[in-house]
């Protein structure tokens, strides 16, 4: 795919149909079949590092939590991951999970499905495009890291809803140009409703971890090669995300019948799941890697790393006892 191809098509589309809403622009940049970031060249590791890529401890702790939940549910469960990336998180989860479980991966990206198949070779896997395709036939344990931040948002300015337009020099620009006064995501609310409905009906729980919306303002951001860039600069060549409005997500899940637990920081989540003991045990077993493990621990839980900005939200079926970290 030539650089600029998606940009030229977006410009032509805007010239023909008028300015695009931010959600439509995000959707095209991430998922356009011929030029979208995830559809064509997802740069996990090259453009950004996520918690599972930073350390195996992240997935192992979630796997141990899923294992306890599975024992409580008392039946074979379905392990469902939303946006599994290169498959690292699920591979780490499965190492700590007593299994067996049906594994369902919700993934739209062809290149990433191929990487997931490789990382999880030997396991029985099923892929779906949307969580709505997962039936309530077995209890569901749903996981998602840095998935909700990919869902398209809408933005408002004092002069009306923000769109992407083309100026007289042929450059993509925000229109109206003024600052964003409000941001919301019908797609995030729909996802909350779908996840809430699934766990309420099937039994089980979902744990979603992501960048949280600190409140107000404009959180649309593009990242490429570990650097932030202007969200309109390179359509399809950068990861485009928005911070997650967890309150809106949880409200939608509750309306759909699930129970919502208080949002907590990644630091609290991982400490309550026992990351310090896990790091100490790993360092003891691998003394030559002790420094590395200490750095990974710091990255996952420190406020300068991922500990404070990232939050975790859990929803469960109404009858379940509170999760270990609640």
Pick one of 28, 70, 134, 150: the residue that binds ligand SAH (CB under 6 A).
Answer: 150
Total length of the chain: 326
Site for ligand SAH, residues 231 to 270, rule: CB under 6 A:
none
SS3 of 179, please? coil
Choices 69-77, 140-148, 257-265, 306-314; region in contact with ligand SAH by CB under 6 A: 140-148
Q: Would you give the distance in Å from CA 30 to the centre of its chain?
A: 13
Separation of CA 64 from chain center: 20
Q: In angstroms, give the least distance from the CB of 82 to ligand SAH.
A: 6
If you write DSSP's letter for every residue of 3-25 in order, what string do you get?
TTHHHHHHHHHHHHH-PEEHHHH
Alpha helix ranges (H) inside the chain: 5-17, 22-31, 37-40, 51-54, 56-73, 88-96, 110-119, 186-202, 246-255, 266-272, 275-285, 290-301
Select 38 or 261, whichever has its Cβ closest to ligand SAH. Answer: 38
Residue nearer to ligand SAH on the CB measure, 109 or 219: 109
**Interface with ligand SAH includes 109 (CB under 6 A)?**
yes
In DSSP terms, which residues pair with 21 in a beta bridge? 163
The least distance separating ligand SAH from the CB of residue 291, rounded to whole angstroms, comes to 24
- The least CB distance from residue 228 to ligand SAH, in Å, is 16
Interface residue with ligand SAH among 25, 65, 97, 147 (CB under 6 A) is 147
User: For the residues of 137-148, what is the DSSP string, one character each?
Assistant: SS-EEEEEES-G
When the beta carbons of 59 and 203 are compared against ligand SAH, the nearer one is: 59
Among 38, 97, 174, 249, binds ligand SAH (CB under 6 A): 38
Rounded to the nearest 10 degrees, how much is the dihedral formed by the CA atoms of 268, 57, 242, 10?
Answer: 180
Residue 170 to residue 24: CA distance in whole angstroms: 19
User: Any idea what DSSP says for residue 158?
Assistant: T
Q: What is the DSSP letter of 44?
A: B
Distance CA 99, CA 79 (A): 10
Q: Quick one: which of 60, 146, 183, 245 contacts ligand SAH (CB under 6 A)?
A: 146
Contact status: 108 vs ligand SAH (CB under 6 A): yes
CB-based burial label for 312 (10 Å; 0-12, 13-18, 19+): buried
Binding mask 13-32 for ligand SAH (x = CB under 6 A): -----------------x--
Regarding 53 and contact with ligand SAH (CB under 6 A), the answer is yes
Q: Which of 57, 106, 252, 279 binds ligand SAH (CB under 6 A)?
A: 106
Residue ranges in contact with ligand SAH by CB under 6 A: 30, 38, 42, 44, 50, 52-53, 83-85, 89, 106-109, 112, 145-147, 150
């Amino acid at each position: 795919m030539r650089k600029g191809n998606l940009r030229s098509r977006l410009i032509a589309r805007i010239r023909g149909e008028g300015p695009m809403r931010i959600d439509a622009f995000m959707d095209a940049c991430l998922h356009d079949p011929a030029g979208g970031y995830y559809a064509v060249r997802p740069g996990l590791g090259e453009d950004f590092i996520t918690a599972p890529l930073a350390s195996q401890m992240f997935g192992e702790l979630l796997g141990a939590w899923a294992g306890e939940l599975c024992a409580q549910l008392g039946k074979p469960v379905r392990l469902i991951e939303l946006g599994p990336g290169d498959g690292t998180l699920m591979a780490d989860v499965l190492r700590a999970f007593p299994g067996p479980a049906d594994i369902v991966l919700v993934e739209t990206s062809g290149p990433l499905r191929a990487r997931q198949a490789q990382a999880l070779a030997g396991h029985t896997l099923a892929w779906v495009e949307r969580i709505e395709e997962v039936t309530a036939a077995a209890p569901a344990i749903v996981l998602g890291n840095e998935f909700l931040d990919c869902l398209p948002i809408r933005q408002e300015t004092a002069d009306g809803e923000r769109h992407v337009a083309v100026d007289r020099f042929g450059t993509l620009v925000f229109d109206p140009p003024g600052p964003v006064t409000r941001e919301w995501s019908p797609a995030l609310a729909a996802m909350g409703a779908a996840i809430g409905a699934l766990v309420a009906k099937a039994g089980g729980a979902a744990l979603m971890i992501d960048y949280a919306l600190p409140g107000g303002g404009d959180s649309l951001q593009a990242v490429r090669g570990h650097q932030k860039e202007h969200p309109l600069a390179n359509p399809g060549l950068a990861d485009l995300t928005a911070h997650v409005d967890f309150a809106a997500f949880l409200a939608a899940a509750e309306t759909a019948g699930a129970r919502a637990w208080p949002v907590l920081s990644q630091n609290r989540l991982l400490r309550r799941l026992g990351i310090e003991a896990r790091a100490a045990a790993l360092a003891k077993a691998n003394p030559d890697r002790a420094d590395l493990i200490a750095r990974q621990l710091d990255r996952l839980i420190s406020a300068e790393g991922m500990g404070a900005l990232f939050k975790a939200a859990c929803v469960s079926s109404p009858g379940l006892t509170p999760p270990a970290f609640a």
